[in-house]
């Protein structure tokens, strides 16, 4: 079990790189943002609670995220290794992840930092949209579909933009990365 953390600000490319690694190496991605967005779409109690927090760009409380991670890992086939995308977001979460993996006789084997200039992050986030069907990531400025309105990967014709990918929320999300998540570089 080889476990990798992709560390980086919103828009740094964690989701895109995860997909490439999944295809090449067969890893399983755990994206806490994706899990939360599914809870929101399902209108679960957790989703209702998380929705407001996510729209403001703040972090969902640690105890909820740590329980979520524990549940998730217990339900998946982690034998080929895991890519953590969006978790941990702070030192508390990182400590719990170490403890949790130790319960499986595993550890974090590698952390890759995706270090991207702030203006590039903003450009990537503001113009980002995804295929509603397969989640393929596009960008109005940098990467559009080969045939307009048709997903390159799955042929899907519906595209969505994340609620929190807007100019107001981005600043807060990047500030939180710089103030809390970036401390993980030394941890």
Contacting residue, 36, 97, 101, 121, with ligand AMP by CB under 6 A: 36
Contacting residue, 87, 96, 174, 184, with ligand AMP by CB under 6 A: 87
CB 166 within 8 A of CB 126: yes
Residue 153, classed as helix, strand or coil, is: coil
Q: How does DSSP assign 3-43, residue by residue?
A: EEEEEE-TTSSHHHHHHHHHHHH--EEEEHHHHHHHHHHHT
The residue sitting closest to ligand AMP, measured at its beta carbon, is 33
User: From CA 47, how far away is CA 37, in angstroms rounded?
Assistant: 7
Confirm or reject binding of residue 46 to ligand AMP (CB under 6 A): no
Confirm or reject binding of residue 8 to ligand AMP (CB under 6 A): no
Q: How does DSSP assign 80-138, residue by residue?
A: T-EEEES---SHHHHHHHHHHHHHTT----EEEEE---HHHHHHHHHTEEEETTT--EE
CB within 8 Å of 97: residues ≥ 6 apart? 69, 84, 87, 88, 108
CB nearer ligand AMP, residue 96 or residue 151: 96
CB 81 within 8 A of CB 27: yes
Confirm or reject binding of residue 84 to ligand AMP (CB under 6 A): no
Indicate if 70 belongs to the active site: no
Least distance to ligand AMP, CB of residue 161, Å: 13
Least distance to ligand AMP, CB of residue 143, Å: 18
Q: Point out which span in 38-46, 49-57, 72-80, 126-134 binds ligand AMP (CB under 6 A).
A: 49-57
User: From CA 138, how far away is CA 16, in angstroms rounded?
Assistant: 10
CB nearer ligand AMP, residue 29 or residue 32: 32
Indicate if 14 belongs to the active site: yes
Indicate if 128 belongs to the active site: yes
19, 37, 89, 124: which one is catalytic?
89
Active site residues: 14, 89, 128, 162, 173
Applying CB under 6 A, which residues contact ligand AMP?
10, 32-33, 36, 53-54, 57-60, 65, 86-87, 89, 93, 164, 173
């Amino acid at each position: 079990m080889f476990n990798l953390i992709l560390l980086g600000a919103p828009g740094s490319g964690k989701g895109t790189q995860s997909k490439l690694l999944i295809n090449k190496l067969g890893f399983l991605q755990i994206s806490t943002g994706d899990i939360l967005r599914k809870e929101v779409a399902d209108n679960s109690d957790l989703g209702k609670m998380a929705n407001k927090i996510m729209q403001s760009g703040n972090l969902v409380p640690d105890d909820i995220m740590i329980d979520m991670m524990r549940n998730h890992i217990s339900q998946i086939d982690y034998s080929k290794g895991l890519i953590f995308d969006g978790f941990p977001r702070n030192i508390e979460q990182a400590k719990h992840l170490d403890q949790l993996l130790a319960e499986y006789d595993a550890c974090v084997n590698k952390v890759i930092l995706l270090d991207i200039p702030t203006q590039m992050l903003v450009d990537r986030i503001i113009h980002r949209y995804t295929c509603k069907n397969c989640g393929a990531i596009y960008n109005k400025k940098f990467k559009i579909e080969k045939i307009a309105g048709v997903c390159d990967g799955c042929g899907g014709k519906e595209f969505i933009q994340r609620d929190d990918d807007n100019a107001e929320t981005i600043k807060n999300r990047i500030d939180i990365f710089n103030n809390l998540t970036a401390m993980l570089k030394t941890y």
